[in-house]
Structure 1
């Protein structure tokens, strides 16, 4: 028998409800990746985001590296010693402290999402339930393969238990699949789309109310716009109506080092997200390549991104974008269907499909990933298959990229592709922005 959900007062509005309401008003929700160990600074950060009333926004509490690996003692010892953390230790700080930290969001009617990065999130979910926080991110695949050595089978069990905990103790719990951000860059769009759908189905199967589907900006706007359309079509076909929305991540790979290049990439990414109809956007800052962003840099980036709403609306696909949509949709559907046909137990299907290569993430070194797939960037800036491994793709389809052997120098050039593109010349940020 399931326990009754906890009835703790909410520390913020529900993320999915808020995003849905803003969508009805044709507004994009802009969200930073902010996290500080000091409760006063974390509260100041949320207050600064909440005070931005000119656009829709969501607060974030990003957790620290110690909490991600289950160390709940070191964070407070570090803070007492004057050592800064790269995020907020939500399990270590007492509940009353975190309630005070989150109060600016509650007082201003905006949501707060907990972002963490751990493959064993039970303690984090339990603390969220105690606090009345309902939104987080991750997944059994996306928070396991890129981040450590925990066997995938153990991550699947941990996430199954965590989803059940959320279903039993958190009313209207929400999890954002991190599947669209696998490895940060150079992962084929169809893999990103497929993992999103698989993880969202996993969340819903174990009682989570709603999910969001992520997509990280790649190397080609046309390919990304087609891929996002494919992700949305897949969600319409595989997920219940009203249970999901799409969140766009600004480029997760090597970021431009110059302020001008970084600013232009942020603005261009915002424009792409709007033109693609994404409901929520995770915003990067101009200091991504240099340091942990300050509160001021986060607010500057939010304002710069939101300024794009004055110029752009969602746009239909061009013919080139339609071609990308078709190829990504066909590949992703083949992968998802193969996983669903593997076993009625989705957790077991995930484990088996990584063993047999039906799921295989390019350039991922985790022991449970076969590592037979590779991608490369073609002359148009699009990600193509260099090696398809054992993925269940129709090799006769003409759009599938040619097999290609990559040298180490070519791989390193691919990693810096976006950074070189935006740092190579001076950009003028849109005059629409007056931050």
Structure 2
């Protein structure tokens, strides 16, 4: 036990939370894709109602407590002021509520058939993890890179130290018979315009970081990007690298519906969610984080979340049965992701230290990320076929795989167009024929839709 760490209390008999990862994997083996909302409300009664509705949905579900923005950045005084004033927050303030309140929210809802995960977004999560241990919530997510670079200016080395301490403390739940679970957010860096190989690499590296600090149950995320074929290639690469590198068999992959600018039409939103669901099913992934028709406008209601869950479940049931996805030959995405992972692991045996060195040297470099610790030389763009490509790789260790000469100049107008590419494509499709997605899932854009001239393609193996 780390000096100063408090062992968690033992759960009451019959109240012990299930292993979140093992639960999800078992449901997928039974043929069901697990679907999950990104739901959080500040009022405990509303939060409990949201969990109950998620549990009752016609789908294989797990519950979510998404935390508010003040709690994520440690502004607890602002949380207290909002609660005193009766002002709604944009999530559940788990740190500021007495553990008994959260216990009442979960009582009779969380059990062996319905685990609950906390989602937050913090590079300084000590108070959050303390609250999790006190309420015996044994599943959460994040990571030292993925919850640092996109969300603020916390120095990366500070975030790494924070996540080392929190991961090791979280692992102490195992001493009371509760298996903790951590999901890396690394597959969702900035939500968009990060080429899939780097999303895969960071997800794998953060999972290895978790395992290095005591975790045995992990999940790895991948956010739906701009082209279904490229996404399938990326998830295949992610699963292959997990099998090759992770020291635990208790892992699974979670797909996020598109994290960028979302379609404004209801039909476009459902077309995009359908495509994310097919990606999860076709790739053998075990869990899907849904988005709703309200994403482009406001925080979704409970009913809108349930509608998205049930829509995804219907789409998943119409897909091929669950089974082992056949191994693929070395793809471009796999080769790039493996080169990035190996480039980081070669820097230091301690993965946290390797992260710091990687960003200082440009071995990892997130396009368009303004964090001071990001090198800021890598660039990306969407080609005429809808694939995310490297426009320039800076010092990324991708020599021989990607041309080092910039593939194209990225202009401000081009960047803005890329950021809304998915929204435009799916809204245009929805407004056009008012019909369902292409049966084969080919191409996200309508026929003839081309955002840019093709060019700057990566070298193919």
In 1: Cα distance, 2:428 partner to 2:167 partner: 45
Farther-moved stretch of structure 1 (12-21 vs 299-308): 12-21
Residue matched to 1:61: 65
1:260 corresponds, among 260, 267, 286, to 267
Query: CA shift at 1:56, angstroms?
Result: 1.0
1:177 corresponds, among 175, 184, 188, to 184
- The answer to whether residue 236 in structure 2 is matched with residue 248 in structure 1 is no
Residue matched to 2:312: 305
Q: How big is each residue's C-alpha offset from its partner over 1:240-277, in whole Å with a ceiling of 9 and x where there is no partner? A: 24221000000000000011111211122112211111
Farther-moved stretch of structure 1 (329-338 vs 143-152): 329-338
Please state whether the residue corresponding to 1:8 is helix, strand or coil.
coil
Residue matched to 1:120: 124
Query: CA shift at 1:82, angstroms?
Result: 2.5
2:151 corresponds, among 132, 135, 147, to 147
- The answer to whether residue 216 in structure 2 is matched with residue 212 in structure 1 is no
Residue matched to 1:129: 133
- The answer to whether residue 209 in structure 2 is matched with residue 196 in structure 1 is no
Query: CA shift at 1:104, angstroms?
Result: 4.4
Relative to structure 1, is the Cα distance of residues 136 and 316 closer, same or farther in structure 2, using a 3 angstrom cutoff? closer
Structure 1 unaligned residues grouped into runs of 5+: 431-435
Query: CA shift at 1:317, angstroms?
Result: 8.2
- Map residues 404-415 of structure 1 onto 2, 5 A cutoff: 404-415=408-419
Structure 1 length as normaliser, TM-score? 0.93
1:8 corresponds, among 7, 11, 15, to 11
Residue matched to 2:396: 391
- The answer to whether residue 337 in structure 2 is matched with residue 337 in structure 1 is no
In 2: Cα distance, 1:269 partner to 1:352 partner: 34
Task: Give the conservation status (yes or no) of the 8 Å contact 2:380–2:390.
Answer: yes
- The answer to whether residue 39 in structure 2 is matched with residue 34 in structure 1 is yes
- The answer to whether residue 362 in structure 2 is matched with residue 357 in structure 1 is yes
Structure 2 unaligned residues grouped into runs of 5+: 438-461
Q: How big is each residue's C-alpha offset from its partner over 1:316-347, in whole Å with a ceiling of 9 and x where there is no partner? A: 989xx968x61111111111111111111211
Farther-moved stretch of structure 1 (76-85 vs 302-311): 76-85
Query: CA shift at 1:199, angstroms?
Result: 0.6
Query: CA shift at 1:146, angstroms?
Result: 0.2
Please state whether the residue corresponding to 2:357 is helix, strand or coil.
helix
- Map residues 279-294 of structure 1 onto 2, 5 A cutoff: 279-294=286-301
Please state whether the residue corresponding to 1:389 is helix, strand or coil.
coil
Residue matched to 2:83: 79
Please state whether the residue corresponding to 2:60 is helix, strand or coil.
coil
Residue matched to 1:101: 105
In 2: Cα distance, 1:316 partner to 1:400 partner: 37
Residue matched to 2:458: none
Task: Give the conservation status (yes or no) of the 8 Å contact 1:47–1:105.
Answer: yes
Query: CA shift at 1:76, angstroms?
Result: 3.5
Q: How big is each residue's C-alpha offset from its partner over 1:166-208, in whole Å with a ceiling of 9 and x where there is no partner? A: 1124531111000000011010111111101111111111112
Task: Give the conservation status (yes or no) of the 8 Å contact 2:393–2:404.
Answer: no
Task: Give the conservation status (yes or no) of the 8 Å contact 1:177–1:213.
Answer: yes
In 1: Cα distance, 2:147 partner to 2:23 partner: 25
Please state whether the residue corresponding to 2:218 is helix, strand or coil.
strand
Relative to structure 1, is the Cα distance of residues 410 and 174 closer, same or farther in structure 2, using a 3 angstrom cutoff? same
Relative to structure 1, is the Cα distance of residues 161 and 420 closer, same or farther in structure 2, using a 3 angstrom cutoff? same
Task: Give the conservation status (yes or no) of the 8 Å contact 1:72–1:92.
Answer: yes
In 1: Cα distance, 2:404 partner to 2:294 partner: 36
Q: How big is each residue's C-alpha offset from its partner over 1:348-370, in whole Å with a ceiling of 9 and x where there is no partner? A: 11101100000111110000000
Relative to structure 1, is the Cα distance of residues 399 and 13 closer, same or farther in structure 2, using a 3 angstrom cutoff? farther
1:88 corresponds, among 86, 92, 96, to 92
Structure 2 length as normaliser, TM-score? 0.88
Task: Give the conservation status (yes or no) of the 8 Å contact 1:267–1:429.
Answer: no
Task: Give the conservation status (yes or no) of the 8 Å contact 1:363–1:374.
Answer: yes
Query: CA shift at 1:394, angstroms?
Result: 2.4
Task: Give the conservation status (yes or no) of the 8 Å contact 1:284–1:298.
Answer: yes
Q: CA RMSD in A?
A: 2.2
Residue matched to 1:24: 29
Relative to structure 1, is the Cα distance of residues 394 and 105 closer, same or farther in structure 2, using a 3 angstrom cutoff? farther
